Amino acid sequence: MRTHEMRLAGRTVTGHVVETQEDLPAFADWAGRHTEFGYDTETTSLEVYKPGFRVRAAQFSAGDQTWFLPVERHPRFAWYTTTTLRHAKQLYIHNAAFDLQVADRHLGVPLAELFPKTIDTGIISRLVDSRARKEGGPGHKLEELTEVFIDPVAAKQIKGSVGQQCKELGLKKADYFEQVSLDDEIFQMYALMDPVLAWVLAKTLLPKVPDSARHLIGYEHEIARICSDISKQGFLLDQPYTNELATRLRQEETWWQMEIEREVEKLGFIDVDEFNPNSTDNVFEALVYMGHLEFKQTPTGKPQVDDDLLEHLAEGGMYFARCIKEMRKAGKWAGTWPESFLANADEHGRCHANINTLQARTGRMSITGIPAQTLPSGDWIVRRCFLADEGHVMASIDYAAQELRMAAVLSGDERMYRAFELGEDLHQITADAAGVTRKIGKMANFLVCYGGGWKALVEQAKIPEAMARKTIAGFNKAYPGVSKLAKEMTATAGKQGYIETITGRRLYVDSARAYSAINYAIQSASRDVTARGLIKADRAGLTSFLRLPVHDEVVASLPKNQANDLAKEIGECLRTQIKGVDFVTEPEVAARSWGSLYGADH
């Protein structure tokens, strides 16, 4: 047994490192005397479901005592870990979805057993303040929270120690956690401190959750458990198709690249070997050389070379611009989607998305691993990569105009209420009030919910200033309640620095952008509509069918012979009424692939 003395916020913390099996009785004795623990695991990587993933160590803390178990050394260390997890009545974990999926998959303790007795300090910190560091908030990483709420010096040391060690050992951070010796003293101290921080953070942050948001604590843990179940289940990848798609896109990229080389040589303005079509700077120089001198500016003042410009030039007959655009697209698509799916698949060909249930400052979820929220929807080739399980078909259940319905709820706008009740076309109503096309009316509807003004409409719809002003005025005339709500929320945000959503969530708003308050309120409450739906679907026993939540939609894999009934059942779970507004859902069942919901497989 080795011990380390560490300092945290003026107190001494004692770390105990279990080195051999002879040390286990002392651990068991200590653990048996407690029921409440901080908990953390050290693992080879963050990819829980990838072949080769291993748990390296597990750490438990209580008060100023903390213990390190070298799980990878012998199954008995893992056994003591699982026994302690089961014996615990209360666990404090930072980003519990990770550690609990690790416990489920690699230590054999189910998510359903541990989540109900866990307080996740990641969740709590987001209920206290949802802003990341770069948004002016305290952030949500362990080091960031420690710095702000516990001990800035300790936070720096913890972050610095691993960084410095990486440098000394010549390792990247990812390699460090895989390769570092469990006997390494600095690693041990780093690992020992984490569960202590989770414990202290839980005690420090829980009282800071605003009263209005306290009821969300249990709710958010339930959502985190459901989304962990969805991640664990995984989404079946059609590997042959995905391989073929990746190859095809790379071939397209190469073909366009050769066209570009020919063009560059023909023009003779620069060495072919030095021209990189993926470099915005290079393309800018080339365009200038070719006589194009008018560029919009990026937010930092650099010349903008985007798709809009390239398309404009291509339409004007510049083949070079067409080539750049097509090459960029093929390369980006190949790397972002099919290649990353293939790299992410587990040994059974399933991709496990990482669902961050409270990622955005509005509480919206984000999905990494499979960037499922950004797959092209106008073209089915990418979604075609994913399949329903054997004997299943794909279904999607989405909310009809979820955010506009929320705008109606929050504003109480009579015209909007009536439109939803009678099934009228809200976009046409705006269009009629302004004397513009439905398409522009629709853009205006969303724009106002995003806090935008007429200038943005000029850009997006490519219409003259006067028409854009007229359209926004038309919206205000059609739905005066929404206009009023936007003004009120902006004022509230400006005055108190934050708004409160109808679900009680406190959202801080930058004073320079107080106008975004209405969007925060709509987006956040809409997220909670979907999240409440997920809980209802879970309680109805439907979680194992769910593959992904995507903002206002849920994707599901359903047994073929009951697909329609199950899709309707999920739809009923998601459907809800708020202040007389019916949040209608639209179940849709297609064939085997996700792409079949977008026109593939016909």
For 593, which DSSP code?
A: B
CB 167, min distance to DNA, A = 8
Could you tell me which of 549, 571, 225, 588 has the C-alpha nearest to residue 373?
549
Give the shortest CB-422-to-DNA separation in angstroms.
24
Q: How far is the CB of 510 from DNA (least distance, A)?
A: 8
Task: State which residue, 262 or 329, has the beta carbon closest to DNA.
Answer: 329
Cα–Cα dist 122/425, whole Å? 41
Q: Which is nearer to DNA, 94 or 364 (CB)?
A: 364
Q: Distance between alpha carbon 89 and the CA centroid of its chain, in Å?
A: 30
Q: How far is CA 131 from CA 6, 204, 369, in A?
A: 30, 18, 22
Beta-carbon neighbour count of residue 293 at 10 Å? Answer: 8
H, E, C per residue of 274-285: HCCCCCHHHHHH
The minimum distance between CB 366 and DNA, in angstroms, equals: 3
25 to each of 1, 22, 30, 314, how far by Cα in Å? 11, 7, 9, 74
| Min separation Cβ 255 and DNA, Å | 17
Three-state DSSP state, 237:
strand
The CA distance from 596 to 408, in Å, is 33
- Grouping H, G, I as helix, E, B as strand and the rest as coil, residue 34 is coil
The pair of structure tokens assigned to 308 is 């809009």
Neighbours of 421 (CB within 10 A): 12
CB nearer to DNA: pick between 73 and 159: 159
Nearer to DNA, 118 or 523 (CB): 523
CB of 11 to DNA, least distance (A): 29
Nearer to DNA, 90 or 298 (CB): 298
Report whether 399 contacts 585 (CB < 8 A).
yes
Which of 150, 554 has the CB closer to DNA? 554
- 583 and 402 Cβ atoms separated by less than 8 Å: yes
**In the complex, least distance from residue 88 CB atom to DNA, rounded to whole angstroms:** 30
Nearer Cβ to DNA (528/552)? 552
Work out how close the CB of 458 gets to DNA at its nearest, in angstroms, rounded to a whole number. 9
Helix (H) or strand (E) holding 537: helix 517-539
Q: Which is nearer to DNA, 23 or 339 (CB)?
A: 339
